Amino acid sequence: MKISPPVTKKLSDILPTEPTLLMGAGPVPIPEEVAKANSLVISHLGEPMNTIVKKIQEMGQYLFQTKSSKIFGISGPSSSAMEMAVTSFLYPGRKVLILNLGTFSNRFAELARGVGADVVELFPAPASPFRASDVAAALKKERFDVLTIVQGETSCGIKNTELEQIVKLAKSKNVKTIVDTVCTLSTMPFFMDEWGIDITVTGGQKGLSSVAGVSLIAFSEESYAFVQNRETLMPHWCLDPRRANKFWCNHEYHYTAPVNGVNALYEALRLICEETLEKRQERHASSSKLLQTSLEKMGLTLYAPADCRLNSVVAINNPEGINSKELITYIKDTFNVEISGAFGLNVIRVGQMGEQCRPQNVKRVLEAIGKAYVHFGVKLELQVLESL
């Protein structure tokens, strides 16, 4: 039996005429330069790719604040960078402490179980980050090989305010650390070398305002040496750092790199370097502050307490009787703005990453959220919008 071609439509007939403003927890809008770079297919080997790769590593050193040369791009989502990190350090007989703050911290536990590691999870008090004292107690009770932690947990909008102390504590106990900066890199201060982090992972589609599907991982020189010298086989071929090193450090073939995505990442990182981390972080802080205070002035409440609230993803408590799904659909259909729901919590989430932190985007999402809640019967002070 032959299969006939399905009835097809042009992509432009599927997409809205006006692009939807992506104000959710990622992917985020990308600058024009990044979009243009993403359309360029070049050879994956030789020049100019060798120069592009080298420059991505140099810019990555700036972003992660590390002198390590072991920075690799990964063809895959941020979760594949998490997977490379976990499979580098964990295998049967090794034990990991997972600091579980929500969906994405929990992914580390799923990945670690998958490679047969011994997994112990720690949970914080509701709506709070991890305290170094609680982690110290856990590290005192048992011996661990690895600790995983997120800088910011996108699913609830909470940041680990004691990340530096926790990482340093782990180091003092000879415990290797894996830090997820997927929704935070370039949006808030981060110092891989100064804090003594072993592996950092991040994705393209959030703070970096690049495309999804090309992620970054940074190994400290010491942690890369551990992987290089380990005798147990790596479970993955694509995600083997020693093979990735061939492409990223020796300019040899590993697999065909996602060339247009690499070009896009190059441009995204270049724009960050041009802006500088200090100015970018300040832009994120002030833009998110404007969003947060305006929401509160309207009469809404935020899920995370102010002292541990992420700037990059803001979770808003739904007033009683509101169904997130209906609200989000209404916002999209009426205002052509997309925001995110949540994993289990009764909140909606708004992103403040990269291009989302522009005054016109903040104004538009505030107006959409305010008017949508009013449409569903919530009493709010909408005149706040006039002062924006």
Ligand X SMILES: Cc1ncc(COP(=O)(O)O)c(C=O)c1O
Where in 35-134 does DSSP place strands (E)? 71-75, 95-99, 118-122
β partners of residue 80: none
Binding window for ligand X (CB under 6 A); candidates: 139-147, 175-183, 227-235, 349-357:
175-183
Q: How far apart are CA 60 and CA 70, in angstroms?
A: 10
Which residue among 38, 66, 79, 100 contacts ligand X (CB under 6 A)? 79
Binder to ligand X among 24, 26, 129, 258 (CB under 6 A)? Answer: 26
Shortest reach from residue 18's CB to ligand X, in Å: 25
154 binds ligand X (CB under 6 A): yes
Burial of 280 (0-12, 13-18, 19+ CB in 10 A): buried
**Which among 16-24, 73-81, 225-233, 251-259 is the span making contact with ligand X, rule CB under 6 A?**
73-81
Give the shortest CB-47-to-ligand X separation in angstroms. Answer: 30
Is the Cβ–Cβ distance between 313 and 291 less than 8 Å?
no
Q: How far is the CB of 306 from ligand X (least distance, A)?
A: 20
77 lines the binding site for ligand X (CB under 6 A): yes
Instruction: Specify the residue, 23 or 150, whose C-beta has the smaller distance to ligand X.
Output: 150
Question: Among residues 28 and 378, whose Cβ is nearest to ligand X?
Answer: 28
Minimum CB distance to ligand X, residue 257 (Å) = 18
Residue 150 binds ligand X, judged by CB under 6 A: yes
Q: Render 286-315 in DSSP notation, one character per residue.
A: HHHHHHHHHHHHHT--BSS-GGGB-SSEEE
Which range, of 4-12, 44-52, 127-135, 179-187, touches ligand X by CB under 6 A? 179-187
Only segment of 31-39, 77-85, 128-136, 291-299 that touches ligand X (CB under 6 A)? 77-85
* CA 220 to chain centroid: 20
Interaction of residue 315 with ligand X, rule CB under 6 A: no
Please report how close the Cβ of residue 32 comes to ligand X at its closest, in angstroms: 23
Q: Judged by CB, which is closer to ligand X: 90, or 201?
A: 201
Q: Between 26 and 241, whose beta carbon lies closer to ligand X?
A: 26
* Sole binder of ligand X in the list 203, 341, 351, 354 (CB under 6 A): 203
Q: Residue 124: name the closest of 106, 142, 145 by CA.
A: 106
Determine the Cα–Cα distance for residues 315 and 61; give it in Å rounded to an integer.
Answer: 31
- Pairing outcome for strands 199-202 and 176-180: parallel
Q: Considering beta carbons, is residue 151 or 294 the nearer one to ligand X? A: 151
Question: What is residue 133's three-state secondary structure?
Answer: helix
182, 208, 227, 348: which one binds ligand X (CB under 6 A): 182
Between 82 and 380, CB nearer to ligand X: 82
d(C-alpha 226, C-alpha 295), whole Å = 47
User: Are residues 369 and 316 in contact, defined by beta-carbon separation less than 8 angstroms?
Assistant: yes
Fill in the DSSP letter of residue 42.
-
Q: Does 104 bind ligand X (CB under 6 A)?
A: yes
Strand segments (E) across the chain: 21-22, 71-75, 95-99, 118-122, 146-150, 152-153, 158-159, 176-180, 199-202, 214-219, 313-317, 337-338, 347-351
Q: Is 180 in the site for ligand X (CB under 6 A)?
A: yes
User: Counting contacts by CB under 6 A, is residue 183 touching ligand X?
Assistant: yes
Q: What are φ and ψ of residue 349, in 5° steps?
A: -125, 140
The answer to whether 83 contacts ligand X (rule: CB under 6 A) is: no
Angle between helices 324-335 and 359-375 (to 10 degrees): 120
Q: Which is nearer to ligand X, 107 or 243 (CB)?
A: 107
Q: Which residues bind ligand X (CB under 6 A)?
A: 25-26, 77-79, 104, 150, 154, 180, 182-183, 203
